[in-house]
Amino acid sequence: MSNEKSFNFVKQVKGAIQQAHETGQLPETKNDVLDGFSGDSIVGCLQRLTKIVSARNDSCYLEIGVLQGFTLLSIALANPDVPCFGIDDFSLFNEGKKNFEIVRERQRKLGITNAHILNMDFEEALDNLEQHIQEKKIGVLFVDGPHDYRSQLISLLKAKRSLADSAVIVVDDANYAHVRQANADFLASELDFALLFEAYTPLHPANMTPRVKEKARKGWWNGVNVLMKDRERRVVRSFPPTGERERFFASHDVFRHEFAETAIEALRYGSALVDGTESEEKKRRKLLKERLLSERQRHPGRFPFYNTESKGLPDFKLHL
């Protein structure tokens, strides 16, 4: 690829992001069927980037985290000749276990034939991705699955081998410091990738006033980072801002504690203890105690602390 063509491509990508920021979703794809938890600028950005990148290298679109299909089907609708894949086992945010059928029904209503669901755990799907996308490479990757630090980082690492040249990665929910930390760590270790664009909103939408939330819905929702495969180093290297690292250090003590899986219940009880009413505190205390006893029954061999999960592992093994 010549330097001139290379820089023109970067200019195209930046232009697509700018257009999405100014005008949002492509107007011809707006409809009464699709909605969801995403910003109009994010959807418009993914639609435009998929057009640009797929035209360049005959690639596919892949997203991790489908929920009810808002982004997947919006991108497929805007790019009918591009295979669009969504990975989700529908284990999260799926009250009533209806999300998979909601995606299918929306797809039927809109007559979309180029969207494909990989209904499985995202790591399993990424480990065996060639079986699903065959000879295609990923031109645009949208990461919107589990947002814990490890899942965020492993999504990028496992998808890397399937990315097309000049692939673009859009990471959702970049308002979260641990998501930005995972992106920064990926960029620091994978020198062929660059941060091309970042946009944040001041709060998570759940904590916004209606007016601020409406602005976020038209824009970048809960923040995005856009990364680009850039072996030619066309983009100046930089990193998303990261927060304090103390919470990552604390996670070691959580993981080795007898009741590691109950951390969120313990935190909720702590919130009720400080901010809740007496009845709320009692309710949370009861729920936490029940969960602690349940976990002790599930893991009878655990110690109060310093659990290693190394029992049964080899005491000496050379790999040749």
Residue in 64, 44, 220 with CA at minimum distance from that of residue 132 = 64
Q: Do residues 278 and 215 both lie within one domain?
A: no
Q: Do residues 150 and 7 both lie within one domain?
A: yes
- pLDDT the model gives residue 1: 52
Give the number of domains in the chain: 2
Q: Do residues 76 and 186 both lie within one domain?
A: yes
| Alpha-carbon distances, residue 230 vs 24, 28, 88, 202 (angstroms) | 26, 31, 28, 30
The CATH number of the domain holding residue 93 is: 3.40.50.150
- pLDDT the model gives residue 53: 95
Q: Do residues 128 and 199 both lie within one domain?
A: yes
What is the average per-residue pLDDT within 144-164?
97
- pLDDT the model gives residue 58: 86
Q: Is residue 320 part of a domain?
A: no
Q: What is the pTM of this model?
A: 0.94
* Predicted confidence band of residue 263 (pLDDT cuts 50, 70, 90): very high
Q: Is the CB of residue 173 less than 8 Å from the CB of residue 144?
A: yes
What is the average per-residue pLDDT within 74-100?
94
- pLDDT the model gives residue 224: 98
Q: Do residues 184 and 252 both lie within one domain?
A: no
Identify the domain containing residue 123 by its residue range: 3-229
